[in-house]
Amino acid sequence: DTGVSQDPRHKITKRGQNVTFRCDPISEHNRLYWYRQTLGQGPEFLTYFQNEAQLEKSRLLSDRFSAERPKGSFSTLEIQRTEQGDSAMYLCASSLAGAVYEQYFGPGTRLTVT
Amino acid sequence: QKEVEQDPGPLSVPEGAIVSLNCTYSNSAFQYFMWYRQYSRKGPELLMYTYSSGNKEDGRFTAQVDKSSKYISLFIRDSQPSDSATYLCAMFIYNQGGKLIFGQGTELSVKP
């Protein structure tokens, strides 16, 4: 059973550095989502893709954030010039386009910006 | 005011108790309602989803939706220590993309 995988699981970086996270969705899922979760809060939506097309971006996704899904399979989320406020758990989820109510999450990447 | 409100707890119950977890929401356009379970430092795990008002049962779990009151609940019967986790409600509007709106999460502890 191959669920959603994310890499790395943990990332510690210094303020100002760039970081990139990877998400591999469930293989037959054509929708892929990114969320961010801070301590004691529920996940907040960042962006989502259907195949390779990025269809929606949240206002939370500042210009320093960019996400790609180049071949409609895995996705990357890059944060440029990291700030301490970027410290959070970055979660990836996937679903079928016709079953958006069944989003399956990966284990997340925990980012700490020092 | 947040679109989805959830009491953060923590909620502590003895093993075998019936647990009631609740969320309220303000946007009457929400159509689908989900419950996720999240263990510490793990990703959320989908437990159940419902569409209409009423009850949906899956094993020890029952999800209840009351659209007229904008109130949803998750009941856990015969709670076990392994149920100790944070429970997140989530909801969305079907024709507005795939963005889930989550509650804050309720931390549950089931004591042996």
Asked if A43 has any chain B CB less than 8 Å from its own CB, the reply is yes
Which residues of chain A are within 8 Å of residue B8 when distances are taken between CB atoms?
40
Q: Helices (H), strands (E): how many in chain B? A: 0, 11
Q: Looking at residue B9, what is its pLDDT?
A: 84
Which residues of chain B are within 8 Å of residue A104 when distances are taken between CB atoms?
46
Asked if A25 has any chain B CB less than 8 Å from its own CB, the reply is no
Which residues of chain B are within 8 Å of residue A31 when distances are taken between CB atoms?
98
pLDDT tens digits, one per residue of A27-74: 999 999 999 999 999 999 999 999 999 999 998 888 999 999 998 899
What tokens does A90 get?
Answer: 């970055």
Which residues of chain A are within 8 Å of residue B41 when distances are taken between CB atoms?
108, 110
Cβ pair A103:B100 closer than 8 A: yes
Q: Which residue of B has its CA nearest to A100?
A: B98
CB B74 within 8 A of CB B35: yes
Asked if A72 has any chain B CB less than 8 Å from its own CB, the reply is no
Distances (CA, A) of B42 to A27, A36, A38, B39, B59: 21, 13, 13, 5, 23
**Cis, bond preceding A8 (omega within 30 deg of 0):** yes
Taking the CA of residue B77 and the nearest CA in chain A, the distance in Å comes to: 23
The residue written with tokens 């042996």 in the block is B112
Distances (CA, A) of A83 to A16, A22, A37, A90, B26: 6, 20, 16, 15, 33
Asked if A112 has any chain B CB less than 8 Å from its own CB, the reply is no
pLDDT tens digits, one per residue of B74-99: 999 999 999 999 999 999 887 777 89
pLDDT tens digits, one per residue of A73-99: 999 999 999 999 999 999 999 999 889
Q: How many CB pairs under 8 A join A and B?
A: 68
Q: Which one has a higher pLDDT value, A1 or B10?
A: B10
CB A92 within 8 A of CB A33: yes
The amino acid sitting at A102 is: E
Q: Which one has a higher pLDDT value, B51 or A14?
A: A14
Q: Helices (H), strands (E): how many in chain A? A: 0, 11
Taking the CA of residue A99 and the nearest CA in chain B, the distance in Å comes to: 9
Cβ pair A100:B94 closer than 8 A: yes
